[in-house]
Amino acid sequence: MTKLQCADRVLDLSRVQVMGILNVTPDSFSDGGNLYQASRLSVDKALVHAANMVADGASMIDVGGESTRPGASPVGVQEELDRVIPVVERIKAELDTLISVDTSAPEVMIESAKAGAGLINDVRSLARDGAMEAAASTGLPVCIMHMQGATPATMQLAPHYEDVLAEVCDFLAQRADQCVAAGIPRERIVVDPGFGFGKTLEHNLTLLRRMDELEALGMPILVGTSRKTMVGQALGREVGDRLAGSLATVALAIERGGRIIRVHDVAATADVVRMTEAVLYGAGQERV
Span near ligand 9MG by CB under 6 A; candidates 40-48, 88-96, 189-197, 203-211: 189-197
Based on the residue annotation, tell me whether 114 is a catalytic residue of this protein: no
Q: Does residue 103 touch ligand 9MG according to CB under 6 A?
A: no
Options 175, 228, 256, 259, the catalytic residue:
228
Does residue 262 bind ligand 9MG (CB under 6 A)? yes
102 contacts ligand 9MG (rule: CB under 6 A):
yes
CB of 20 or CB of 224, closer to ligand 9MG: 224
Report strand pairing: 258-263 vs 17-23: parallel
* Residue 123 or 135 with smaller CB distance to ligand 9MG: 123
CA distances from 251 to 53, 160, 182, 244 (A): 19, 27, 35, 11
Q: Considering the complex, what minimum distance in angstroms separates the CB of residue 203 from ligand 9MG?
A: 13
Known catalytic membership, residue 188: no
Q: Which of 97, 121, 125, 156 binds ligand 9MG (CB under 6 A)?
A: 121
Site membership for ligand 9MG, residue 64 (CB under 6 A): yes
Contact 237, 226 (CB under 8 A): no
Asked if residue 68 binds ligand 9MG (CB under 6 A), the reply is yes
Cβ 100 to ligand 9MG shortest distance, Å: 9
Per-residue x/- track, 204-243, ligand 9MG (CB under 6 A): ------------------x-x-------------------
Q: Does 171 bind ligand 9MG (CB under 6 A)?
A: no
Q: Give min distance, CB of 264 to ligand 9MG, in A.
A: 11
Residue 80 binding ligand 9MG, by CB under 6 A: no
Contact between 249 and ligand 9MG (CB under 6 A)? Answer: no
Question: What positions carry a catalytic annotation?
Answer: 228, 262
Residues that bind ligand 9MG (CB under 6 A): 64, 68, 102, 121, 123, 143, 145, 192, 194-195, 222, 224, 262
